[in-house]
Amino acid sequence: MPTQAVVIGVDSSTQSTKAAFIEAATGRTLAVGRAAHQVSGDHGARETDPEVWWNALREAVAIGLRESGVSASAVTGIAVAGQQHGLVVLDSSGRPVRPALLWNDTRSAPQAAALTEALGGPEAWTARTGSVPVASMTAAKWQWLRENEPRAAKATAAVRLPHDFLTERLSGSAATDPGDASGTCWYSTATGAYDPRLLELVGLEADLLPEVAETGATRVGSLIDAAAEDLGLPTGIAVAAGTGDNMAAAVGLGLGGAGLLDHPALSLGTSGTVFAATRTRPASPVLAGFAAADGTYLPLACTLNCTQAVDRIASLLGLSRDTAEAGGEVVLLPYLDGERTPDLPAASGLLTGLRHTTSRQQILGAAYEGAVVTVLRALDEVLRACGTDPADADVASRPLRLVGGGARGRYWVETVRRLSGRPLLIPESDELVAVGAAALAAAAASGEDPVALASRWQGGRAAHLPPVKRDMETWERVSEVLERATPTLLTR
């Protein structure tokens, strides 16, 4: 049984909760407890009862304790990294007024467009928040609630993000961090505080919001008695402010602070995201100009349709995901749930270029290509937001850190290599969000720098794949279809 201090990093994602038990001194993963969530809704709706997240956290911690063999008394800290943007509304007793609206709920697209116009356009928003409202952003969801469920909005005594909700249950403190707060569109990355003008615009009182801690590693309290009893952990251990899932992944990768800056990462999960830590404050209308968890910035682009969309195409074709072949003339834009980058919330999938000779395997391969081209085009925008030119030879030669479930898929890796032409670095850990959260927990307990700590934990444990010749023919074919189809997709 380990004798060293142990910290718990929690990844509360769209589909599940993972609780990673990490040795604070070595970064060794002792166990990862897992528990599933339930997501409901159709026709653009995506909702989960926040109590599901708490119950899943309790189950995941119990499993982690059992499988790790760790004595609960060895645990010194805990931090939560949560899915970004979700709107949690609580009553005066701290209980949910209604199920949370999740980040991938696209019903608030009209409200996002109206808010953008109301402030004076995309540039006005990026000057304040670094981001332009899209359906994902919390401000748009709050506006949707006000317009569509005014009784629920009126009954709201507190507004939280998903990770805030869990952190408050752990510590009793209403706290968030700059990283996750920067995904709301009512927090200003220019001032490092909630923006009174934006709160006025969405009719939200500042006292309904949590305090913003200095960083995600800030200790915002101690584990309270009720939470300790629920989780089987000692009362009084450190609770960090925590952060959003993308910010935690950046910490887990050692990006930011004195670590790697302007080095991009691509996460292949339910959504596809690209991001890089930078000291340059991003202000691009096509990106989310987030703050990071450690005082730097995290320009990020998110695509809604990634592994889940490709898996759906594979299912429709009756194929396993690794039986794909290069698409040839076929182009498939797998925008099955609308899209965020590019901003096409009402889009559906598009298939073109079919021939009598086209095989099912090529159609599946085209789905991979459509998803990867979409996310790599977004990567170019992230690099520009860092003040670098994606076409510069030095920038293009930097390894692309590939993470998420898709990074374990052979054909995903092959497609990213072929269409990016970049060397790839695939970290050994499958749970970078949870590892990043654990580093925040360890920092809250010890005062160490979380990025440096995570870098030491990783210790260079990653697979290095050299670049291959870039497939510009496929790149240009998919890009041409995307650009030609965008006006049609926008009007659907």
State the DSSP string of 140-158.
HHHHHHHHH-HHHHHT-SE
8 Å CB contact between 1 and 70: yes
pLDDT score at 492: 42
In this prediction the pTM is 0.86
Question: Directed axis angle between helix 410-420 and helix 360-385, to 10°?
Answer: 60
Q: What is the mean pLDDT of each run of 10 residues along the chain (492 residues)?
A: 81 95 95 95 93 98 96 97 97 96 94 97 95 94 98 98 98 97 97 97 97 97 98 98 95 80 86 91 88 92 93 97 95 92 87 96 98 95 87 84 92 97 90 95 96 86 92 96 76 44
- Alpha-carbon span 184 to 162, nearest angstrom: 12
Question: What local confidence, expressed as pLDDT, does residue 488 receive?
Answer: 62
Q: Which pLDDT score, from 0 to 100, does residue 329 have? A: 95
Contact 434, 20 (CB under 8 A): yes
3 state SS of 340: coil
Domain 6-246: which topology? Nucleotidyltransferase; domain 5 (3.30.420)
Q: What is the pLDDT of residue 364?
A: 98
Catalytically active residues, by annotation: 245
Looking at residue 423, its pLDDT comes to: 95
Which pLDDT value is given to residue 487? Answer: 67
DSSP state of 322: G
- Complete DSSP assignment for 218-275: SEEEE--HHHHHHHT--TT-EEE--EEHHHHHHHHTTBSTTSB-S--EEEESSSEEEE
